[in-house]
Structure 1
Amino acid sequence: MKKIVGLVLLASIVAALGVAQAQTSVGKGYAVGDAVTDFQVRNMDNKLISLADYRSQAGVVVVFMANHCPFAKAYEDRLMAIHGRFAAQGYPVLAIQTSDPAIYPEDAFEVVQTRARERSFSFVYTLDETQSVARSFGATRTPQVFLLKRVANGFVVQYIGAIDDNPQDAAGVQKRYLEEALVSLVAGRPVPTPATRPIGCAVKWKN
């Protein structure tokens, strides 16, 4: 109960403090239906990977994360479950740690590597070193999802927002926005709810 209350209070604080920062630090970013420009991020093996590396997939679940953020941590198991279910259907999870480690040392590459090993993440966890990827997407929160579908010339955004409607309690989730979107895409149907409001920590931008 204390953990749930703490997350609720934290959500209110980050919402109040993070809006101005997000508005001044991020451009328009992508909207649903936009084509996504190729990008590179560094994986936990210290190798650069790109969006183009996923061209054999049906799409990609891009999730912006922050190692220090309790909301992001609360979703790690759910993301592993989503990856386990949908990667085989062509939609793997690509997690991108994007917050400035100068503000939170927990977000430093070596610390993120350690956590990835300890948690044995089934999905690919990467680092957006310059924050250019988060800026190009228009990410403002961690976690925040951009669900991409592969088309002839690249990838197009199909869903933006929250993973589900309950960051505090996985057992209490009523609306599984990301899973509903993935089920629809796999079945060849339009995404029923293309956008929701992400709930989490504000992205910590470099000065």
Structure 2
Amino acid sequence: MKKLGFPLLLAALVGLFAFTEVLPIGASMPKAELKMTDISGKQVSLKDAVGTNGLLVMFSCNTCPFVVKYQERTIESSNYALGKKIGVIVVNSNEAQRGADDSFDAMKEYAKTQGYKWNYVVDKNSELADAFGANRTPECFLFDKSGKLVYHGAIDDNANDAAAATRKHLKEAMDELTSGKEVSVKETRSVGCTIKRVK
């Protein structure tokens, strides 16, 4: 774990810089009908993935050290969302690494290894990431059943150690959303690797 120290620090520093304007809270879901290739080979849109109570969109990838650290929490959060009748779609926007670690075949293998039960799609040319203003992996966007953004940010408040997290931001937001309450903490800062765009 100690060997990951410098890469994690470097990724965190790089991740502090946002490259696109982020979708504001209350905004409608952008590019809801954009079809993206899922690891199943099917063409899937955000609209297709929406559940009864909304949709969790998570920008992620296969190899970012922060994605690796968050992976168990990603699976836990995604399963929790499905249990709350919130749809889940994980989006890989790393277009600059499509010929390597974030290739379609690598995505399929990664999802199989992790036991994904939800869509994992290729965001060609980072089109969806640009529309969302997403810049990091992992980075979460939670929408209500009417397609309005109610939460944006991190899964919890400790990127390095799940056991040391004092607040599970995403889980709290999902609980409040499905209980009819206003989400109390609407935005938090995502810590992660930058999305690798071809631009």
The two structures have a TM-score, normalised by structure 1, of: 0.87
Secondary structure, in 3 states, of the residue corresponding to 2:111?
Answer: helix
Partner of 2:10: 13
Partner of 2:197: 205
Corresponding letter in the other structure for 2:169: Y
The answer (yes or no) to whether the contact 2:95–2:123 under 8 Å persists in 1 is no
Partner of residue 130 from structure 2, selected from 122, 135, 140:
135
Mapped partners of 2:51, 2:60: distance in 1: 24
Q: How far is 1:103 from its partner?
A: 7.5
Q: How far is 1:62 from its partner?
A: 0.5
Partner of residue 178 from structure 1, selected from 167, 170, 195:
170
Cα RMSD over matched residues? 2.0
For 1:25-174, what aligned pairs fall within 5 Å after superposition? Answer: 26=20, 28-37=21-30, 38=32, 39-102=34-97, 105-151=100-146, 155-174=147-166
The answer (yes or no) to whether the contact 1:98–1:134 under 8 Å persists in 2 is yes
Question: Which stretch of structure 1 is more off in the superposition, 51-60 or 37-46?
Answer: 51-60
Mapped partners of 1:109, 1:100: distance in 2: 11
Q: How far is 1:101 from its partner?
A: 4.2
Q: Extract unaligned runs of 5+ from structure 2.
A: none
Mapped partners of 1:47, 1:164: distance in 2: 31
Mapped partners of 1:147, 1:29: distance in 2: 14
Q: Extract unaligned runs of 5+ from structure 1.
A: none
Identity %: 28
Q: How far is 1:16 from its partner?
A: 3.2
Q: How far is 1:19 from its partner?
A: 5.0
Q: How many residues align?
A: 197
Corresponding letter in the other structure for 2:49: Y
Q: How far is 1:82 from its partner?
A: 1.8
